[in-house]
A and B are shown apart, each in its own frame.
Chain A
Amino acid sequence: MADIQRMSIEFGCEPDNESFARVAVAAYAARLNPTLEEISDIKTAVSEAVTNSIIHGYYGRTEGKIIIECEIKEDRLMVSVTDMGVGIEDISKAMEPMYTTRPELERSGMGFVFMEAFMDEVTVESTAGKGTTVKMSKKITSDEQINDDLSMAVGYN
């Protein structure tokens, strides 16, 4: 396996693209043989970042692009989610648990908390009026046992 393999996808800010985004990243991460728990962590974290882009970054807009870039370095998955939306004025405030600017949508204000809980590292770069990039990484333990079991189950060996 090469040390660096990249993937990038670009899609519109329609809410039904959220599920596509998380499934695409999970499929990309599959080459690291993640456990089911790790796949769930990745899907949830990606879903949080993409949801933020849609309901905050592109709030009130019908068009806008979201770009996801993924990279694998050894046993580490790196994912970035970028939008060209309104940006975040106060990043540390936005990352506070229970803080939300959309309470009318019953948003919990736990999006960044979840990203931080389910990934190893989360950094946010944002410029008001220009957009936001969330970068996340996670070390994958590579579940060889499960992978062997799966291979046997589908008759690869």
Chain B
Amino acid sequence: MEIEDRNLIIHVGREVDHMEAEKIRHDFEECYLKGNIKNVIFDMSEVEFMDSSGIGMIIGKYMKVRYVGGKVFVTGVSDNIDRILKMSGIYKIVSKRDNIFQALRSC
């Protein structure tokens, strides 16, 4: 995870299941307490597998930052992961960008 200004970039691992989501939840809490975070960018470029744990992970961050007017982005989404994200309806609350740079420009 990296912080740029008030934007937190989370590099998500290859397989987003219960374990990976828990790891990210734990790391996020540490970063969140330290920094004055507004927006969250999930870099999904490495992700090959995802189940509903990934949806919970993204919704959880959205619930946190929306109180400070923050936004949540997903970037580097493969076709397969896009299919799962679309099906979950999560694009109603988070936006997709091609890469981290583009997401940072939208923050």
Contacts and interface: CB of A to CB of B under 8 A. Distances in A.
Contacts of B49: 22, 40, 43-44, 47
Question: In this complex, which of A16, A105, A109 has the most chain B Cβ atoms within 10 angstroms of its Cβ?
Answer: A105
Nearest to A107: B56
B60 interface: yes
B17 A37 contact: no
**Is chain B's binding surface mostly helix, strand, loop or mixed?**
helix
A45 B44 CA distance: 20
A15 interface: yes
Nearest to A114: B52
Interface stretch (A1-9, A48-56, A86-94, A134-142): A48-56
B80 A51 contact: no
Contact of B80 (A19, A40, A48, A117): A40
Interface residues of B, number: 22
Contacts of B84: 44, 114
A128 interface: no
**Is chain A's binding surface mostly helix, strand, loop or mixed?**
helix
Interface string A74-102: 00000000000000000000000000000
A150 interface: no
B19 A108 contact: no
B21 interface: yes
B18 interface: yes
Interface of B: 15, 17-19, 21-22, 25, 49-53, 55-57, 59-60, 80, 83-84, 87-88
